[in-house]
């Protein structure tokens, strides 16, 4: 430690620290603009000049290393005069338009100008002018004259986000910030540049001119969109959510926020909100009061149970539902005598958890959703193996953490169906079609077994990549094997988990899932899963081809977007006698539901989420429910009372939570993220066998073959056709849940407008598609799967293996197709008459043209 004197006080700091760090430790404020604790030191603004004894001139506190015995004065005449001179210099070109600036009232430049600026300007020359810029639908950059060239936004992109989309060009007074990697800023974490900007140069475009900072009240909440558990500050004006900012929490989201969390609030204020209960009578929706709606639902459930038995009733919920909602939904279904409840709508393999329902508060089955390590520890990993993850888009903040680990020397390896750009240095990677993932993990296990002299659970051939990954995992101290959303949704998910667990046991690595949603772990804790004899989500939604339910309760989900097989889900729900949708929004497929009950989204209800690390975070509603909307836990409580079920006398969400998971702050001791009870004594061969998929494609203009597209429990790929194309599905970042899908500005981003289909170069050449143009160039193709087809725009992706086609799930263009994994057929198609590329301005994704094959079940009609 080094001791210095700062304004007469002794301060000890670590060697290599800067004067600014010492001031932070001592609680002494030094004015600054360019300095930020999460970014590199630039010393651009010079606002932090301080008086260092024996130095010939003032020194920047952010870039001056401490030395033993150093004497620093931050309030001497020398320091104050230097800071005032810098402030005058920074203001000579500033437009001084605080009354119309969105940053007014929370502007660092405004604050420091009051403290260090003069009462009037001596500058009488012409001010420079920088023309407005268009950075995209999220960041407003129309007043770049306000920019003071601190380069915080530039450094954030290069150092944290991993892509330098902004840069400073020109020199001297001609310097300006502009895009250098494209025309717009498209990073999934770009909104943090707004927070970092100390002036009003970069502001929120959705928030623009909607409120003044002092009109807003600030309330804490938790993001519902992924498993990170991101902490939020929700800013409210009256009864309306106006803006969302990050609440700093070093153990979770640090000071960052993904754009999905930041801008999804727009959906809360759209005309798509449902505010009145409605019942469909003779195909016509009728608005009713709550008493009528709930009595109708209770009476119908009682009648169906009497006629068809309790097992004909089921419930499907989104894992973004709160602990309280899921607990009461599970309690209601079981009170009716059914075990048909599930949150895993996008899963195809239910082997581990079916029939393994435990007591409330215990994790069922394989603890899907648990990460096995803490969020903060991701930044310190020495070795990581990531299986089946679209990391940047599925978990933007986890991606930032893991990228930070690689900057410290960590090695990251992957098993995936394509070389997705994670914006970080990558170690060895295995690129294989989904049907080859089990063998890919088996090869890594075999390499470990060979090196350690133990019998491995697989006889898969050891590749060079597998051997390199095994050798890497055998070294290092902090290690993790992490399975992504695609691995959890894979038809052989249980095999992947067992192999990953074996690898983790042999290398000392933690094992777990990144987690698909905000409360997947919470769903397991409260047992929102089928019990013995109960139907899983795939069975309830007709994966077997036979509808099984007569009545279905839907909570915060749209199955034609949120399920593994949208076409089968739509058919199964249409075959039911009663479908009750509890949702904040008008249903995307209003022909599926018979009753819609307007329930509160996260901003309008109290609840609890359990993140993938097992962190329990409760929150309160930040605004009153809109119209006649009611919190879902209250709706379920009243419905339980109308059905004369016991144990529905709750008065508050706190009482529900106490019954569901107990009075706890966190659950690390109860959250079995690492599946301890799972046997590592595996069979020597995976269910998929050792035979690789034949990469040959059929001749002619069409390539691939048609499978049934149905994902079943424990499904192997033995039915995959030789020479066939395989589908790999990602859920686009801005289609992940029913809130995000309605966030207007997010739907205008490049990610939202990206083609729903990507085809490999080899397939494009076989289809005689010109690949000489830009990678972003779109081509029209017909994709056929599971008896239905859709004509969609596709791009050519050179990172895809020859037999893999990337087809987005939960996308308006593709909801009429089959399962997320399986065989597909692709052929070239003429551009439809309404080709969006010919439109003057068409920023919204176009709806798919679902064309059922003869005798096929038509897919769900997408929301238009």
| CA distances (Å), origin 54, targets 22, 63, 70 | 19, 17, 9
Q: Tens of pLDDT along 315-331?
A: 999 999 999 999 999 99
Residue whose structure tokens are 């959890």:
488
Residues 435-460 have a mean pLDDT of 95
315: helix, strand or coil: strand
The answer to whether residues 735 and 843 touch, using CB atoms and an 8 Å cutoff, is: no
**Phi, psi (deg, nearest 5) at residue 503:** -60, -45
* Rounded CA separation 162/749 (Å): 19
56 SS3 class: coil
Say if residue 600's pLDDT is above 70: yes
Average pLDDT (113-140) is 92
At 671, the pLDDT band (50, 70, 90 cuts) reads very low
**DSSP 8-class letter at 615:** B
| 476 contact partners, CB below 8 Å, separation of at least 6 | 382, 383, 410, 411
Query: pLDDT tens-digit profile of 455-503?
Result: 999 989 999 999 999 999 999 999 999 999 999 999 999 999 999 999 9
> What mean pLDDT do residues 288-294 have?
98
Q: Answer whether residue 714 shows pLDDT above 50.
A: no
Q: Residue range 64-74: average pLDDT?
A: 96
d(CA 327, CA 316): 13
Looking at residue 352, what is its pLDDT?
Answer: 60
What distance in Å separates the CA atoms of residue 582 and residue 557, rounded to the nearest whole number?
Answer: 8
* Count of residues making up the chain: 864
Span 60-88, average pLDDT: 96
Chain segment 9-58, per-residue pLDDT in tens: 999 999 999 999 999 999 999 999 999 999 999 999 999 999 999 999 99
Tokens of 436: 């080859």
User: What mean pLDDT value characterizes the chain?
Assistant: 88
Contact 496, 437 (CB under 8 A): yes
Dist. CA 327–CA 658, nearest whole Å: 11
SS3 793: strand
Q: Which tokens is 437 given?
A: 């993932």
**Which residues lie closer than 8 Å to 700 by C-beta, 6 or more apart?**
none
DSSP state letters, 265-287: GGGGGSTTB--S-EEEETTEEEE
Q: How confident is the model at residue 540 (pLDDT cuts 50, 70, 90)?
A: very high
Q: Does position 295 have pLDDT exceeding 90, yes or no?
A: yes
* Coil, strand or helix at 728: strand
For residue 112, pLDDT beyond 50? yes
C-alpha distances (whole Å) from 354 to each of 364, 365, 714 are: 9, 7, 11
Q: Does residue 820 surpass a pLDDT of 80?
A: yes
Please name the residues in contact with 114: beta carbons below 8 A apart, sequence gap of 6 or more. none
Cβ atoms 135, 179 nearer than 8 A? yes
Residue 362 has pLDDT above 60, yes or no: no
Q: Per-residue confidence at 663, pLDDT binned at 50, 70, 90?
A: low
Distance, C-alpha 164 to centroid of its chain: 22
Residue-level pLDDT at 654: 95
Burial class (CB in 10 A: 0-12, 13-18, 19+), 475: exposed
d(C-alpha 404, C-alpha 410), whole Å: 9
% of the chain beyond a pLDDT of 90: 80
Q: How far is CA 58 from CA 34, 75, 91, 114, 398, in A?
A: 17, 12, 20, 22, 41
C-alpha dihedral over 75, 79, 82, 86, to 10 degrees? -60
Nearest to 281 by CA among 271, 291, 261, 296: 296
Distance CA(226)–CA(520), nearest Å, equals 9
165 vs 668, residue with greater confidence: 165
**Is residue 702 scored above 90 in pLDDT?**
no
Are 828 and 791 spatial neighbours (Cβ–Cβ below 8 Å)? no
Distance of CA 297 to the CA centre of its chain: 34
**Distance from C-alpha of 721 to C-alpha of 743, rounded to nearest angstrom:** 40
Q: What is the pLDDT of residue 692?
A: 30
Taking 90 as the threshold, does the pLDDT of residue 630 lie above it? yes
Structure tokens at 618: 């409760």
If you search the block for the tokens 């010492």, which residue do you land on? 22
What pLDDT does 590 receive? 79
Domains and CATH numbers, the chain: 2-82 (3.10.20.740), 108-186 (no CATH), 278-349+520-661 (3.40.50.740), 375-513 (3.40.228.10), 726-837 (2.40.40.20)
Judge whether 849 and 832 are in contact, CB under 8 Å.
yes
Q: Which residue from 290, 273, 379, 307 is spatially nearest to 626, judged by alpha carbons?
A: 273
């Amino acid at each position: 430690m080094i001791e210095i004197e700062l304004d007469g006080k002794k301060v000890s700091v670590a060697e290599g620290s800067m004067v600014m760090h010492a001031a932070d430790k001592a609680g002494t404020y030094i004015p600054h603009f360019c300095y930020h604790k999460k970014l590199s030191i630039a010393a651009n603004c010079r606002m932090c000049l301080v008086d260092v004894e024996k130095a010939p001139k003032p020194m920047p506190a952010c870039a001056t290393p401490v030395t033993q015995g150093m004497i620093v004065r931050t309030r001497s005449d020398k320091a104050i005069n230097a800071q005032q001179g810098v402030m005058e210099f920074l203001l000579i070109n500033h437009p001084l338009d605080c009354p119309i600036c969105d940053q007014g009232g929370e502007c660092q430049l405004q604050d420091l100008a009051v403290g260090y600026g003069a009462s009037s300007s001596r500058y009488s020359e012409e001010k420079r002018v920088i023309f407005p810029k268009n950075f995209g639908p999220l960041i407003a950059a129309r007043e770049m004259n306000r920019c003071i060239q601190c380069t915080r936004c530039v450094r954030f992109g290069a150092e944290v986000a991993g892509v330098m989309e902004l840069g400073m060009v020109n020199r001297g007074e001609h310097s300006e910030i502009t895009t250098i990697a494209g025309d717009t800023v498209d990073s999934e974490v770009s909104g943090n540049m707004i927070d970092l900007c100390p002036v009003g140069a970069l502001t929120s475009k959705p928030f623009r001119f909607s409120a003044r900072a002092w009109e807003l009240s600030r309330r804490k909440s938790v993001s519902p969109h992924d498993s990170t558990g991101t902490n939020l500050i929700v800013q409210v004006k009256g009864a309306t959510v106006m803006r969302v900012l990050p609440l700093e929490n070093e153990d979770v989201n640090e000071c960052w926020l993904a754009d999905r969390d930041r801008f999804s609030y727009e959906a809360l204020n759209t005309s798509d909100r449902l505010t009145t209960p409605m019942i469909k009578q003779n195909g016509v929706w009728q608005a009713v009061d709550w008493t009528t709606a709930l009595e109708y639902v209770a009476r119908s459930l009682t009648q169906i149970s009497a006629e068809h038995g309790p097992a004909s009733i089921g419930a499907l919920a989104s894992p973004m539902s709160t602990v309280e909602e899921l607990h009461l939904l599970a309690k209601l279904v079981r009170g009716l005598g059914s075990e048909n409840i599930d949150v895993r709508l996008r899963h195809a393999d239910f082997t581990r958890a079916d029939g393994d329902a435990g007591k409330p508060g215990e994790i069922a089955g394989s603890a899907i959703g648990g990460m096995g390590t803490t969020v903060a520890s991701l930044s310190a990993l020495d070795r990581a193996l990531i299986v089946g993850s679209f990391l940047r888009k599925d978990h933007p903040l986890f991606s930032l953490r893991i990228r930070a680990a690689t900057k410290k020397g960590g090695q990251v390896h992957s098993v995936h169906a394509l070389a997705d750009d994670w914006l970080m240095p990558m170690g060895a990677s295995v690129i294989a079609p989904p049907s080859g993932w089990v063998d890919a993990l088996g090869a890594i296990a075999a390499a470990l077994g060979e090196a350690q002299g133990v019998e491995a659970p697989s006889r898969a051939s050891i590749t060079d990549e597998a051997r390199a990954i095994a050798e890497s995992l055998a070294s290092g101290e902090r290690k993790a094997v992490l399975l992504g959303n695609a691995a959890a949704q894979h038809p052989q998910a249980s095999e992947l988990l067992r192999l990953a667990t074996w690898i983790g046991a042999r290398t000392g690595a933690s094992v777990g899932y990144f987690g698909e949603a905000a409360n997947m772990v919470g769903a397991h804790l409260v047992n929102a899963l089928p019990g013995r004899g109960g139907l899983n989500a795939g069975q309830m939604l007709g994966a077997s081809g036979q509808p099984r339910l007569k009545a279905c309760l839907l909570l915060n989900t749209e199955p034609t977007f949120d399920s593994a097989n949208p076409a089968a889900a739509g058919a199964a729900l249409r075959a039911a006698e009663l479908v009750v949708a509890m949702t904040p929004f008008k249903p995307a497929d209003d022909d599926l539901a018979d009753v819609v009950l307007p329930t509160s989204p996260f901003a309008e209800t109290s609840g609890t989420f359990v993140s993938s690390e097992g962190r329990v975070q409760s929150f309160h509603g930040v605004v009153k429910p809109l119209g006649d909307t009611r919190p879902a836990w209250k709706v379920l409580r009243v419905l339980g009372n109308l059905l004369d079920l016991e144990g529905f006398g709750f008065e508050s969400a706190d009482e529900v939570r106490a019954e569901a998971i107990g009075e706890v702050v966190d659950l690390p001791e109860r959250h079995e993220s690492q599946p301890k009870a799972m046997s590592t004594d595996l069979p020597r061969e995976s269910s998929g066998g050792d035979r690789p998929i034949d990469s040959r494609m059929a001749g002619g203009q069409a390539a691939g073959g048609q499978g049934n597209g149905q994902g079943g429990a424990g499904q192997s790929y033995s039915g995959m056709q030789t020479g066939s194309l395989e589908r790999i599905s990602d859920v686009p970042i801005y289609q992940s849940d029913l809130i995000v899908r309605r966030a207007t500005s997010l739907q205008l981003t490049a990610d939202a407008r990206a083609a729903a289909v990507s085809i490999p170069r080899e397939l494009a050449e076989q289809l005689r598609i010109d690949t000489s143009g830009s990678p972003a160039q779109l081509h029209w193709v017909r994709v056929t799967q599971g008896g239905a087809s859709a004509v969609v725009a596709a791009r050519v992706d050179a990172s895809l293996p020859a037999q893999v086609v990337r087809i987005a799930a939960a996308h308006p263009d593709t909801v009429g197709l089959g399962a997320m994994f399986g065989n597909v057929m692709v052929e070239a198609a003429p551009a439809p008459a309404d080709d969006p590329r010919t439109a003057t301005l068409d920023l919204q994704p176009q709806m798919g043209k679902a064309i059922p094959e003869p005798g096929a079940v038509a897919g769900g009609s997408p929301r238009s």
